[in-house]
Amino acid sequence: MEPDKPRYRRVLLKVSGETLAGGRSFGLDPDTLRAIAREIKGARELQVEVGVVVGGGNIFRGLEARAMGLDRAVADHMGMLATVINALALQNALEHEGIPARVMSAIAMHEVAEPYIRRRALRHLEKGRVVIFAAGTGSPYFTTDTAAALRATEIGAQAILKGTKVAGIYDKDPMLDDTARMIRRLTYFEVLERSLKVMDSTAVTMSMEQNIPIVVFKLLEPGNMVKVLLGQEVGTIVEGQR
């Protein structure tokens, strides 16, 4: 019997810093890192090329820093540095699973990461390496959601997979309201019009312009990433039409 073929051959996985913290309020959770690495390993076993953009909110949150009086640009650059820490931790977890990985940073720091060069990133992906994109876009005033949409566009990803702590997109906050109902399919316009907290509006708009579907799913449910790649009904998909 012919094995199941993945729906996507190249994807961009967006992982928030809060997800990397696991159940902690701050820092990195080793068990969570291992779990995410195993999910990515499952994708690689399907011969899917994987790029990853990581957030930094588990280490430093720009919004909180600005409330303390830091300039926006300074706070954003500090947040970018936090994402590099997370990227190195995820790289280490992947390598322990036998998956080759490269960290590419939008801010030059040659001793710990490669500089982001699009052609080099594409070459890594073609060779089967997971590429972890760190330091956001390298510019302040842009979130790591926007960085994910930008990198997905640049590497020709066929989908953005937004790994979260919940099963998908809900009409209400499922953490606060037991009556919250999960929505299986949405259009980009519906996400923007209803101000649903999927990704920021810049990232959603860029994905819409490039026609890159966004799949929001529970990353830490074992096997979920493989299910998404095989086209099974997992999470919520945001695309041009229902």
What was the pLDDT predicted at 62? 67
CB 133 within 8 Å of CB 51: yes
What was the pLDDT predicted at 46? 97
What was the pLDDT predicted at 85? 97
| Six-digit token string for 9 | 């051959």
What was the pLDDT predicted at 145? 96
Nearest to 21 by CA among 56, 50, 65, 63: 56
Domain chopping of the chain, boundaries:
10-239
Question: The domain 10-239: what is its CATH number?
Answer: 3.40.1160.10
State which residues of the chain have pLDDT below 50: 1-2
What was the pLDDT predicted at 2? 46
What was the pLDDT predicted at 23? 86
Q: For residue range 165-220, what is the model confidence (pLDDT) as tens digits?
A: 889 999 887 877 888 899 999 999 999 999 888 899 999 999 999 999 999 999 99
What was the pLDDT predicted at 146? 97
What was the pLDDT predicted at 3? 57
pTM, two decimals, is 0.94
What was the pLDDT predicted at 180? 87
